């Protein structure tokens, strides 16, 4: 027999072998809903933990989840016992079945996980953690199960391929935390923990001699180009982006006893030009006004509006709408946030929006989901609180976000006719900075952009709210709580406002951040305003131009 004939017979024999003999066998698994012991508001954890564990156990080419549609009623609830679990695994035809329970008591959670093999082997795992830290704890437990049962290397669990760099070294790490170039860019190389701002992909304005309180970017004069409006302590100032600087266009000054709280924009009369809406407190009563830009002059379109006003995308269609509330001296806001219409020459409250009881015009957003939406509230302690569309509270952050230095005095215990003394000890409510809902990753997952101003003193002294540095964080809903997706490098100065807008009119939106410099507690009179703009397309970072490499310097 010649060597060629032997090779031909060998090839024919190999072709006759079943495909599974030529490839590694892929094991299958299923995860049952977890039983939840605790308050009704935590029942969502049953499916949340199920989905999370299923995604972490999935190992392409080695371990695949069973199609839930094929499982049907057999995976509708958690098995009652180990023998029941083994029986279900056999009926489903999977190699492994994971199930368990979550027990919630106060802010603490304990999780019991059991993985049962069809051959009768079992692997129990337990963990105790805070509810807010459940996802990171589950990540670690899932990794331990992967290593123990499936001998899965950590790099595979993290989603790496053949040694290629990934967007995250670990699910607990901040995207682009390092500056070593070992990670791919998520949106912008400046979204890291610390570093200088004078790098490709970020633009910085000139220093301006004002103390800012907010920022808005829109087309105010109808020329098809965006302008920048900065809310200062006692003025509204409009600028145009030109030659890498902000050139002043117009200025509107207010009375010195006006406490300017918030700036927003909306084309309220349909003339193709956005109006500037400013909420004001005047001796503990709302006195808002609306401005329009004509040439180089800001004029009052409406004034002395006895409402607190803001512009928010409202569910279910998420169109930007003007919303408002009446003022109340004891509690600041009359309960209820309403749509605002224009009737009789003045803005008037219309339909009340369905929101949690603590909502006011400045502290809520709607976060779209595939099956509806969540309501996000920034509470009076600067924590992000998540509610379902039905008003059920489901999660809250331990971290504080959106803190500002714009405070309103009130005293809920003061008698109706009582007049406070000059040394009265007031309680303060601080108007939060905006929460911006976006989908920057284009993956149908909503992100909430929030600020995190940092000040040790502000944590201990209620009346001292000056921040020396801050960051912008992107948070997302992971099924259990709000988790960090990315954050900017540390920004030196006080973050006073931010927006997603096309500041340089190149057709692409930027993350625009307004900051006030921090010269120290003894130099507050020397504070100035600077605007930063971060490109959100990593492909343009190395290109010459406005936000790339500045070849003129």
| Pair 52, 199 in one domain | no
Q: How far apart are CA 117 and CA 268, in angstroms?
A: 63
451 and 338, same domain (yes or no): yes
Rounded CA-CA distance 414/419 in Å is 9
- In a domain? residue 46: yes
Rg (CA), the chain: 28
Cβ neighbours, 10 Å, residue 114:
20
Domain that holds residue 143: 27-149
**pTM score:** 0.69
In a structure prediction context, what are the per-residue pLDDT tens digits for the chain, which is 553 residues long?
454 455 445 445 444 444 434 445 788 888 888 888 888 777 878 777 887 787 778 787 788 888 766 776 677 778 888 888 888 888 888 888 888 888 988 888 888 898 988 888 888 888 888 877 777 777 788 878 878 877 776 554 444 444 333 333 223 224 544 334 444 455 666 665 444 445 567 899 999 999 999 999 999 999 999 999 999 999 999 999 999 899 999 999 999 999 999 999 999 999 999 999 999 999 889 999 999 999 999 999 999 999 999 999 999 999 999 999 999 877 899 999 999 999 877 899 999 999 999 999 999 999 999 888 999 999 999 999 999 999 999 999 999 999 998 988 876 655 554 555 555 455 789 999 999 999 987 677 899 999 998 865 544 444 557 788 999 999 999 888 999 989 988 899 999 999 999 999 999 999 999 999 877 666 667 789 999 999 887 444 444 444 443 333 3
- Tell me the C-alpha distance between 510 and 507, whole Å: 10
Regarding whether 298 and 202 lie in a shared domain, the answer is yes
Beta-strand relationship, 245-253 and 235-242:
antiparallel
Classify the C-alpha dihedral 196-201-207-213 as positive or negative.
negative
389 plus 523 within the same structural domain: yes
Angle at 506 between CA 184 and CA 214, to 5 degrees: 85
DSSP-derived letter for residue 136 is H
Alpha-carbon 321 to chain mean position: 20
- Do 358 and 491 belong together in one domain? yes
User: Strands 227-232 and 212-218: what pairing?
Assistant: antiparallel
Within the chain, what is the greatest distance between any pair of CA atoms? 113
Domains in the chain, number: 2
In a domain, 106, yes or no: yes
Rounded to 10 degrees, what is the CA torsion of 280, 209, 250, 515? -60
Query: What percent of the residues of the chain are helix, what percent strand, and what percent coil, each to the nearest 5?
Result: 15, 40, 45
Of the candidates 129, 149, 169, which is a domain's last residue?
Answer: 149
Kindly list the strands in the beta sheet with 308-314, ordered across the sheet, starting from the edge strand earlier in the chain.
308-314, 319-325, 338-343, 346-352
In this structure, are 443 and 395 located in the same domain? yes
My answer on whether 382 and 450 are in the same domain is yes
**What CATH code is carried by the domain that includes residue 366?**
2.120.10
CATH of the domain at 105: 3.40.50.10070
């Amino acid at each position: 027999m010649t060597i060629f004939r032997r090779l031909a017979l060998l090839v024919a024999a190999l072709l006759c072998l079943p495909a599974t003999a030529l490839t590694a066998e892929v094991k299958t698994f299923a995860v049952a809903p977890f039983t939840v012991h605790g308050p009704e508001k935590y029942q969502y954890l049953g499916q949340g933990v199920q989905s999370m564990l299923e995604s972490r156990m999935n190992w392409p080419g080695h371990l695949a989840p069973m199609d839930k549609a094929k499982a049907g009623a057999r995976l509708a609830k958690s098995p009652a016992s180990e023998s029941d679990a083994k029986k279900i695994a056999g009926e489903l035809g999977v190699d492994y079945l994971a199930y368990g329970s979550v027990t919630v008591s106060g802010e603490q959670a304990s999780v019991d996980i059991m993985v049962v093999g069809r051959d009768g082997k079992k692997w129990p795992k337990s963990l105790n953690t805070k509810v807010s830290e459940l996802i990171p704890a589950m990540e670690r437990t899932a990794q331990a199960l992967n290593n123990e049962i499936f001998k899965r290397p950590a790099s595979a669990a993290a989603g790496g391929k053949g040694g290629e760099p990934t967007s995250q070294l670990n699910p607990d790490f901040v995207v682009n935390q390092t500056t070593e170039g070992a990670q791919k860019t998520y949106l912008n190389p400046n979204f890291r923990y610390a570093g200088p701002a004078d790098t490709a992909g970020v633009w910085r304005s000139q220093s301006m001699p004002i103390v800012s309180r907010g920022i808005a970017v829109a087309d105010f004069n109808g020329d098809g180009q965006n302008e920048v409006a900065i809310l200062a302590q006692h003025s509204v100032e409009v600028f145009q982006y030109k030659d890498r600087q902000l050139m002043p266009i117009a200025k509107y000054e207010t009375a010195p006893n006006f406490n300017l709280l918030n700036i927003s924009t909306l084309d309220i009369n349909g003339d193709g030009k956005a109006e500037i809406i400013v909420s004001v407190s005047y001796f503990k009563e709302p006195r808002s006004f609306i401005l329009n830009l004509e040439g180089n002059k800001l004029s009052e379109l409406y004034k002395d509006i006895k409402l607190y006003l803001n512009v928010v995308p409202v569910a279910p269609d998420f169109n930007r709408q003007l919303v408002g509330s009446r003022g109340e001296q004891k509690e600041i806001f009359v309960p209820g946030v309403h749509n605002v219409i224009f009737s009789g020459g003045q803005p008037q409250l219309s339909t009340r929006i369905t929101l949690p009881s603590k909502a006011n015009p400045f502290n809520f957003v709607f976060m779209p989901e595939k099956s509806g939406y969540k309501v996000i509230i920034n509470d009076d302690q600067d924590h992000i609180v998540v509610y379902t569309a039905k008003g059920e509270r489901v999660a809250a952050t331990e971290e504080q976000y959106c803190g500002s230095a714009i405070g309103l005095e009130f005293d809920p215990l003061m008698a109706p006719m009582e007049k406070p003394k000059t040394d009265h000890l007031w309680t303060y409510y601080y108007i939060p900075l905006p929460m911006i809902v976006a989908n920057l990753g284009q993956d149908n997952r909503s992100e909430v952009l929030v600020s995190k101003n940092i000040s040790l003193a502000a944590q201990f002294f209620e009346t001292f709210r000056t921040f020396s540095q801050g960051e912008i964080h992107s948070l997302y809903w992971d099924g259990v709580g709000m988790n960090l997706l990315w954050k900017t490098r540390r920004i030196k100065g006080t973050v006073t406002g931010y927006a997603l807008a096309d500041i340089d009119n190149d057709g692409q939106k930027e993350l625009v951040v307004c900051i006030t410099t921090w010269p120290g507690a003894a130099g507050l009179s020397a504070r100035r305003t600077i605007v930063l703009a971060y490109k959100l397309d990593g492909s343009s970072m190395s290109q010459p131009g406005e936000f790339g490499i500045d070849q003129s310097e």
